[in-house]
Amino acid sequence: MVIETSTQEDHPSVSIVIKIIASLIAFAALVVSGYAFIFVLFGMLPTIVAMTIDRRVTRSASNTIGAFNLMGVMPYLIQLWNSSDVSQEAQHILTDVYVWFYIYSAAALGWIMIWIMPQIWANIVISRAHNKVAQLEQAQEKLVEEWGEEVRPHAREV
Amino acid sequence: MSDAQTEILSDRDEQGSFLEDFEDASYVKDIPFNVVVEEEVFDILGRPETEEEGQMEFDSSGEDARNIGRFENIFRNTSEPDVIAGRYKICIDQPLPQYSAPHTKAFAIEDLRNRIDNLYVLLFEPQHPTRLESISILKNQLLNDFQLPVEVQILYVTGHSQYQLAVVLAFPNGISFREYVRLKGACSENFITSHVLLSVIQILSQLHRLGIVHGSINPDRVYIDPNNNNKIMVGECISGLCGETQPGVFEPIERATCHPISRGAGDVSADLYALGMLCFYLFVGYDSFSDHEPDDILQQRLAKGSYNVIAGLALFPNSLRDLLKGLVCDKRADRWKERQIFDWLQGTVSNQNSLLQYHSQATRQIMFNDQYFYSCHSLAYELSCYWEAAKKFLKDPMFIKWVDRSVGDIRMASRLLSNTKMVQQKSGLVALDENDFVSRSLVMLDPDGPLRMREVATTISGVGTTLAHSYVKGKKDYMRAVAKIIANNLVGIYLDIRPDLKKSILLHNDLQLLESASPMLARKDYGFGLERVLYHLNPSLPCQSPIVANECIYTIGELMQTLDEKVRQSRKPIKIMDRHIAAFIASRFGISNEVRISGLSEFKAFERNDTMRALVFLSIAQKRCKIKSLKGLSLLIADSLKPVIELFHNRRFQKDLEGRVSKIAKKGDLSELLKTMSNNAQIQSDFQGFKKACENYRYLEARIQQLSDLKKIYEIGYSYGLRFSVVISYLICSAVIIMLITRSLGSL
C-alpha cells in the first residue's frame, strides 16, 4: 500500500475539516453519553489508523478513508441523535454486528478507492504520454524527411 | 657552368608524374614572402554585364591580357594528322638531327602538291616555351637571305602521339660556315669584313628592326653558297629559345655564365658579340676552343677579358683588331652597335678605347678554393659554383677587407658587410637564411652578372624559362630557387645596386613581369601560386596540365573545346580542372585578384568546393571566348555538382535544383549553371530554414525526453489519482450526509 510505505513528513495542512468534525462529534458524544463516545471512537477507528500511517503531504488516504468512514458512521449518529435514550441506543448499536459490518465496509470502500484510483490514473497518463511521444517522433521524422539526417546532430548544437 | 647547373639539361625523365606532386603548392610553403598581398576580391557575379553581349567584364589590364591575341593566328589543325596546311606531310621516319635543337626536332616533309623536296619541318615539344612571338612575326615577313617560316600549324603528330607546334622551313642555301672553313680553311680579312660581316649585319639589322634577336649567330647557323657567288644566308632562330643552342664562347660573358635555358630574351648586342666571334672563327679557320673545357674558357674570359683570350690565340691585322675589340667586348655599354659597324665598314670609326676587361682588376689577389682571383666577377662565378664553401668565405672579414682595400669599392664593401650582419642575426625581421645570404652577396659582388641561387644562374628575362625547364625536369629545388628569386625580391637588390637598369627599355617589360609575379606567387588560391607565375613569365608555354598534356594548348578557346571533346569521348567522368588549368586561364585573362562568387563568401562550403571553383573558371573562359555551348563540360559539371547540391539541406529544394541544373546543363551554358548554383537568396533561405528545423527538432527531442521518463509520468498520474479519490470521496460523503440529514429532518 502506498499509504503505508509513504515516508513523507507530517504537514500542518492535514485535513483540518475532518479533524474538527471528528473532534466535535467525539466531544458531543462524550458529553451526551460514554457509550456514544465509544461508538464514535471505534466507528472512526479506520480513519484514526489511516491518519496515523498516512504521511503523504496531501493526506489523500486519510481524507478519502475518513470521508467514506464518516459516510458509514453518519446514519448511526443520526439514529443516536433522534433517539430518546442515547446511552441505551448506543449500547444497542455497539452490540449490533451488522452496524460494524456496514461501518467498516464503508471505510474499506475508501481504502479500495485510494488503492485503485491512483493506479488507474497513472496508467491513463502513461498511455497518453506514449501516444504523445509517438506523435512527437512522427513530427521529428517529418523534419528529417524534409531537412535530412543532419537535422538530428545539429539539433543539439543549435 | 657548375655540374649542378648543367644537370638541368640532362636526364629528361618522369615528365608526367611530377606535375601531380605540385597540386598542393607545397613547394613554396617555406618561402618567407615579403610581399603584402592586397586582399581584393574579384567578384565574378557582382560585376556588371554588358546587355548586348551578356559578357562579364574582367580585369584584363595585366600584362597577360596582351598575350591573348598572340596565339590566335596560329591555326590548329584537328582534321588531318601529320599533314600541315593540307599539303606538307611529315616524314617522321626521316629525322634531320643537323637542324634539330634540344627541344625541337627537325623532320623531312613531303609536299603533296608540288613534289618539291626543299622543305623540312620543326616539331616543338609542347612542354617547353617557344619563340612563338618571333614565329608569328617572321611568318608574315619577306626577308632576303634568312630562313623564314613557310607554314605554322598546331597538329596531331601520330608518331609522337601528341599535338605539336609545327613550323615548315626551307632548307638553307649552301653550306654552313663550319663546313666551308673545313673545306676551304681560314677566310681572308677582306672576305670577312666586306662580304660576310656586311651580309650578316644587313640581315641582322632587318631582324632587329622587327624586334627579333637572333640568338644563334655561329658557324653552324650562318650559311654560304659557293655555287651562288658565295651568297650568305642566316639560318633560322626559332628552333630554340634565344641563346639556348648558342655555344658559350659565342655568348657575351653576362649571358655565358648562365645556363643556356636561363639566358633570357637576349638583346641586339648579344647578336653582335656572336658576329664578332664568327669573324674571329672565320679568320683563324678552326675552332680554337675545341681543345678546352668550356668552364676553363669561361674562367679565362672572366679573369682576362674575352678579347684578350681570343687575342692570345691569333694575331689580328690592325683593322680586324679594331672590329673585334668593338664586338668582342665584355662591357655591354661599350660593345659596338650596328651603326658603329656600318661606320667602321665605311672607315669612319676606329676603336682604340674599348675596355678589354669586364671588371677592373683588384690591386691584390684573393684566394678561394685554392685559386687566386683578381676580379669580383670571376670570384663571384667561382663562388656560385662552390656554394657551400661560399657561405663560409663570404662571411670572412678578410674578404670584405679585400673588397674595400684591393678592389677599392667602399660601397660594395659596406653592402656586403651589412649583408653579413643580417645573416649573423639569427632572428628578427632582417634575418637571412644562408642561401639567401649567398645569393644577395653574389648580386652585390657581381652586379653585371646573372641572378644566382643555389644551382641556378639566370638573367632577369630568363627567370621564366628557368622555371618552365624546372617544371619539365621536375626539379623542386630549382622551382624553389626561382620562387625565392621572385619572393625575396632579388631583382630589387640588383636594381638598388644598378639603378641604371631601371631606365633600360630592354629590361622594362621583364622587370614589370617579375614585379607583378610576386603577389601571384604569394597567393595559394586556384589561378595563382607558382603555376600562375609559370604562365605569367612564359606566355608562349602551352598548358602544362596533365589533363591536356598531349594537346599543345595555347589558347583558352582551344582548351575549352579540347576539354569538352575529352569529356564527350570519355565514357566515365574525367578530371577537368587542376591548378595548371586554373593558372592558365587566369594568366591568359590577366585575372589579378582572387576569383570569388558574389554573395557566397559567407558560405565557405560552397565557395571552397572544387567543382564550384572549376565552374567559376570554366564559365569565365566560356563567356570570354564566346563559346555558345559546351555540352560535354556542362553535363560533367552538372553531374559533379551533386555533392554541392547536397550542401543544401531542404530535400525538396535539392530535387528541384537538381532538375533545374540538369536542364541547364543540356544547354551547355556554364555561366547559367553557375548563376543557378550560386543564388544567394536560395542559399540564405535554405540555411535559415535548416536552422529553424534544427530548433524545432531540439524542442521535440526535449518533449520526448520528458515524456519518456515513465517513473515521473507514473508519479504524476498517481498523484492525479489520489486527488481524484479525495474529491470523489468528499462528494459522495457530502451527498450521503445531506441525504441522511434531509431524511432525518423529514421524519421529524
What DSSP letter does each residue of B292-338 carry, written as one string? S-HHHHHHHHHHH-HHHHHHTT-PPPHHHHHHHHHHS-SSGGGS--H
pLDDT in tens, B589-606: 888 777 777 667 677 778
Using a CB–CB cutoff of 8 Å, tell me whether B708 touches chain A: yes
Is the pLDDT at B243 greater than 50? The verdict is yes
Predicted confidence at residue B349, as pLDDT, reads 67
Q: Which pLDDT score is estimated for A158?
A: 43
**Measured distance between the N- and C-terminal CA atoms of chain A, rounded to whole angstroms:** 46
Query: Is the CB of residue B739 less than 8 Å away from at least one CB of chain A?
Result: no
8 Å CB contact between B230 and B194: no
A143 near B CB under 8 A? yes
pLDDT for residue B73: 67
B646 Cα to chain A: minimum distance (Å): 10
Instruction: Give the nearest partner residue to A126 out of B689, B703, B717, using CB atoms.
Output: B717
Query: Considering only A17-31, B32-46, B343-357, B434-448, which range has the smallest mean pLDDT?
Result: B32-46
- Check B693 against A2: CB less than 8 A apart: no
pLDDT score of A142: 93
With CB atoms and an 8 Å threshold, state whether A132 touches B707. Answer: yes
Which residues does residue B152 pair with via DSSP β-bridges, in sequence order? B167
- pLDDT at position B50 over 90: no
3-state secondary structure of B572: coil
Question: For chain B, how long is the longest CA-to-CA vector?
Answer: 171
Predicted confidence at residue B288, as pLDDT, reads: 83
Give B431-458 pLDDT, tens digit per residue: 578 888 999 999 999 888 899 988 889 9
Write out the DSSP string of B259-305. Answer: -GGGS-S--HHHHHHHHHHHHHHHHH-S-TTTTS-HHHHHHHHHHH-
Mutation site for A-interface testing, chosen from B649, B688, B697 by largest number of A Cβ within 10 Å:
B697
How far CA B303 is from CA of B309, B318, B379, in Å, comes to 9, 24, 9
Structural element, H or E, at residue B75: strand B75-77
Decide: residue B535, CB within 10 A, 0-12 exposed, 13-18 middle, 19+ buried.
Answer: buried
Rounded Cα gap, residues B262 and B260, in angstroms: 5
Determine contact: A150 vs chain B, CB below 8 A: yes
**Partner A, chain B 667-706, Cβ-Cβ below 8 Å:** 689-691, 693-698, 700-701, 703-704
Q: Are B264 and B465 in contact (CB under 8 A)?
A: yes
Q: Look at A151-155, B489-493, B513-517 and tell me which has the smallest mean pLDDT.
A: A151-155
Cα distance from B687 to chain A (closest Cα, Å)? 10
Q: For residues A83, A86, A89 and A92, what is the CA-based torsion angle, rounded to 10 degrees?
A: 170
- CB < 8 Å from B in window 5-64 of A: 56, 58, 60-61, 63-64
Which pLDDT tens digit goes with each residue over B683-741? 889 989 999 999 999 999 999 999 999 999 999 999 999 999 999 999 999 999 899 88
Q: A108 at the B interface (CB within 8 A)?
A: no
Rounded Cα distance, B650 and B648, in Å: 6
From the list B650, B651, B726, which residue is nearest A64 (CB)? B726
Instruction: Work out the mean pLDDT of chain B and round it to a whole number.
Output: 83
Which residues are CB-neighbours of B324 under 8 A, at least 6 positions away? B276, B279, B280, B307, B310, B311, B316
Range in B10-19, B415-424, B552-561, B605-614 the model is least confident about: B10-19
Contact B726 A125 (CB under 8 A): no
**A121 three-class SS:** helix
C-alpha cell at B195: 662580304
Q: Under a CB-based contact definition with an 8 Å cutoff, are residues B448 and B499 in contact?
A: no
Q: Binning pLDDT at 50, 70 and 90, where does residue B49 land?
A: very low
Residue of A71, A123, A140 with shortest CB distance to B697 = A140
Confidence at residue B507, expressed as pLDDT on a 0 to 100 scale: 73
Half-sphere exposure (Cβ direction) of B420: Cα atoms closer than 13 Å: 19
Residue B354's Cβ-side half-sphere holds a number of Cα atoms within 13 Å equal to 28
Interface test with B, best of A82, A117, A152 (most B CBs within 10 A): A117
Q: What pLDDT, in 10s, does the model give residues B639-682?
A: 888 888 988 889 999 999 999 999 999 999 999 999 888 888 88
- State how far residue B744 is from chain A, nearest Cα, in angstroms: 7
Q: What is the pLDDT of residue B612?
A: 87
Q: Indicate the angle between helix axes B338-345 and B318-327, nearest 10 degrees.
A: 170
- C-alpha B212/C-alpha B606 separation (Å) is 48
C-alpha dihedral sign at B517, B523, B524, B527: negative
Confidence (pTM): 0.74
d(CA B218, CA B251): 10
How many Å apart are CA B82 and CA B74, to the nearest integer? Answer: 16
Contact flag B714-A139 (C-beta cutoff 8 Å)? no
Q: Which residues pair with B163 in a beta bridge?
A: B156
Which residues of chain A lie closer than 8 angstroms to B689, CB-CB?
A: 147
A158 interfacial to chain B (CB closer than 8 Å): yes
At residue B500 the predicted structure's pLDDT band, cuts being 50, 70 and 90, is confident
At B156-199, the pLDDT tens digits run 999 999 999 999 999 999 999 999 999 999 999 999 988 999 99
* Mean pLDDT of all residues in B607-626: 87
Q: Are B112 and B101 in contact (CB under 8 A)?
A: no
Predicted local distance difference test score (pLDDT) of residue B292: 85
Question: What is the 3-state composition of chain A as percent helix, strand, coil, each rounded to the nearest 5?
Answer: 85, 0, 15
What is the residue whose three cell numbers read 429532518? Answer: B745
**C-alpha distance across the termini of chain B, in Å:** 142
Q: In chain A, which stretches have pLDDT less than 50?
A: 1-14, 158
pLDDT at B293: 87
- Please tell me whether residue A72 adopts helix, strand or coil conformation: helix
Tell if the CB–CB gap between A71 and B716 is shorter than 8 Å: no
pLDDT(B543) > 70: yes
* Identity of the residue in A119, A130, A155 whose CB atom sits nearest the CB atom of B701: A155
Residue closest to A12 by CA, chosen among A47, A45, A58? A58
Task: Confirm if B544 and B19 have CB atoms less than 8 A apart.
Answer: yes
pLDDT band at B513 (very low <50, low <70, confident <90, very high): confident
Contact yes or no for A63 and B726 at CB 8 A: yes
Query: Does the distance separating the beta carbons of A139 and B721 come in below 8 Å?
Result: no
Interface residue of A56, A125, A135 to substitute, partner B, most B CBs within 10 Å? A125
Greater confidence (B279 vs B549) lies with B279
Kind of pairing between the strands at B83-84 and B88-95: antiparallel
CA quadruple B682, B683, B685, B688: dihedral, nearest 10: 170
What are B101-158's pLDDT values in tens digits? Answer: 999 999 999 988 887 778 999 999 998 889 988 998 998 888 889 999 999 999 999 9
What is the interface pTM, i.e. ipTM, of the complex? 0.84
What pLDDT does residue B277 have? 95
B107 - beta bridge partners? B95, B121
Instruction: Report percent pLDDT > 90 for chain B.
Output: 44
Which of A78, A126, A152 lies closest to B697 in CB terms? A152
